[in-house]
Chain A
C-alpha cells in the first residue's frame, strides 16, 4: 500500500468522523432561547435561587417543593435571600406562574428547544389558559 493511499484514507476518515461538526457549520442552528422575564418577574429582581442555580436545578427544587407541600403540609419557602414564596406552580400571586406570567416564554421556550416534555401541565393548570 502506498503512502498516498494511507494518507488519503486517513483524510477521508477524519472528514467522516467530524461530519457532525461540518454539518453544523454548513446548516444554520437556532440559538438557545433565554427565558424571558416579563411583567412582575422583571420588576421583582429577586428569585427563589440565583439564576445559575435555578437554570441547573429548578427540577429538583420543584421536586422538593412537591414533597414538602403534599407530605409535610409546608407551603411557604423562605429562600436563602430572605424572600418567602408560595410553593406552588400556579396558585396565587406568589407562585411560579403568579410571577412569571407567560408560561410559553418562561417554561415552554426552553423545554421545547431541548425536547423536554415534563408532564406538569397534564394536571396543573395555567390560570391564563382556563377558558
Chain B
C-alpha cells in the first residue's frame, strides 16, 4: 500500500468526521422530552374559559370591603407590605424602607386617577368618593406583552396575562408600557416584609416585576379568585366569550365602563358604576 501524506490526511479526515458524527446522531435520536408515555394534563376540576374577564360592581364596595379584598389577595400571594416591621432576628441586614416603593396587585383608587379620560367638569359628586378597585386588566391587546423582551409576560390561551417570574430580567419595559400602573417592581428582597408567608404560593425575588395573575393557581384547582371570594358578590369572574356566562349576563343588564378604553388595549375588567 502506498503511504503518502495525502492518503494519511484523507483517512484522518474521514475518521474525524466519523467521531464527530456519533454524538450528533445520538443527540438527534434521544428524546429530550422525557418518556413518551408521560403526559401533562389539567386538573379535572379546573375552570376553563375562552377569555377570562371580570365585572366589578363598585356600588357594592365600601372602604372596608375594599381593604378586605386587597388584603385577601396580598396575603395569599405573599405580596410584601413595606409598613410591616422587619424581624431583625431573621433579617439582620435589612436597609431602611423607601416608602415610595410599593408593591400591589389589587388596590383602591380614586375615580379621577382610574378613569382620567372620564372626568367631566361637573361629575356626579359620589364618584369622587367611591373606592374603585383597580388591578391588572388582562388586556386582549396587552402592551406589556409586546414590550417584554424575554416573553416573561405573555398572554395565555384563556386570555390571562401571565408572568413567568423565572424569565423576568427586571428591565421594567412592561411597567413603562402598561397604561394602568398595574405592575410593581421588586427593588429589594420582599421576604423580610411578608408577615406570614403562605406556603401555597411562592414569593418573588429581588429584581423582578410582579402583578395580578388572575389567581391562575386557584382557577387550576376549580376555585374562584381570592378577590371574588372576599368581595361578597361585588366581583364576578367568568368567560367573556360565552354569552351565557355570569359576566356576560351582568354586562347585558348594566351599564359598564372600562379603563382608558380609547387606547385600544381591550381591558377585560369591567366596572358597573
Contact = CB atoms under 8 A, between A and B. Distances in A.
A124 B182 CA distance: 23
A123 B165 contact: yes
Given A123-B203, A124-B202, A131 B38 contact: no
B216 interface: yes
B25 interface: no
A122 interface: yes
B35 interface: yes
Contacts of A123: 165, 202-205
A73 B162 CA distance: 10
A125 B203 contact: yes
B34 interface: yes
Contact of A73 (B38, B199, B220): B220
Interface stretch (A8-16, A29-37, A59-67): A59-67
Contacts of B90: 131
Interface string B188-229: 000000001101111111000000000010001000000000
A77 B203 contact: no
Contact of B39 (A49, A57, A73, A78): A78
Interface residues of A, number: 31
A109 interface: no
Interface string B35-57: 11111111100100000000000
A73 B216 contact: yes
A124 B43 CA distance: 22
A60 B32 contact: yes
Interface residues of B, number: 33
Given A76-B42, A122-B205, A70 B34 contact: no
A71 B43 contact: no
Interface string A110-131: 0000000001001111010011
Given A49-B35, A124-B202, A77 B40 contact: yes
Given A73-B216, A75-B220, A119-B205, A125 B199 contact: yes
B42 A75 contact: yes
A75 B46 CA distance: 10
Interface string B229-248: 00000000000000000000
A55 to B, nearest CB: 14
A130 B197 contact: yes
Contacts of B39: 77-78
Contact of A75 (B43, B200, B201, B203): B43
A43 interface: no
A125 B34 contact: no
A47 to B, nearest CB: 12
A107 interface: no
A80 interface: yes
Contact of B35 (A60, A66, A80, A127): A80
A93 interface: no
Interface string A67-94: 0101111111111100000010011100
Given A74-B41, A125-B197, A125-B199, 19 more contacts: A57-B34, A61-B34, A64-B33, A64-B40, A70-B162, A71-B164, A72-B157, A74-B40, A75-B46, A78-B38, A78-B39, A79-B35, A80-B35, A80-B36, A80-B38, A119-B205, A122-B205, A125-B202, A130-B199
23 contacts: A64-B33, A70-B164, A70-B166, A72-B157, A73-B46, A73-B156, A73-B157, A73-B216, A73-B220, A76-B42, A77-B38, A77-B39, A78-B38, A78-B40, A80-B37, A92-B200, A123-B203, A123-B205, A124-B202, A125-B197, A125-B202, A125-B203, A130-B196
